Amino acid sequence: MPTPPDRAERLTAMFDSYCKTVLRNASRNEKRTLKNRKKHEVIVDERMQYLFDSNTYVDTYSSERLVIWVDKFSCVVFNDTLYYAFRYTVSWHCPAG
């Protein structure tokens, strides 16, 4: 039967071995991931970047718009602060709005 100090040394050695194995495997996984990413990576040159920049489109949805109606006219406002300022002004000057 091992003595207590011998057992502690053995546990320390086992833990050290386990940590080294985990770090080695993590390093291998990271290298494999980087190699795979590099294999599938596409380098964009200036001409391609121009196409990406010129063909971009931003979707706008009706639920994202803030609309103020005065009589038959509407005003679409994209800034919340401006919307509340207009709303306050319209309701203040126009009791029907």
Q: How far apart are CA 76 and CA 87, in angstroms?
A: 12
pLDDT at residue 95 is higher than 60? no
pLDDT at residue 96 is higher than 80? no
User: Mean pLDDT of all residues in the chain?
Assistant: 79
Q: Facing residues of 74 across strands?
A: 69
pLDDT of residue 62: 65
pLDDT of residue 13: 92
Residue range 35-45: average pLDDT? Answer: 83
pLDDT at residue 35 is higher than 80? yes
pLDDT of residue 64: 66
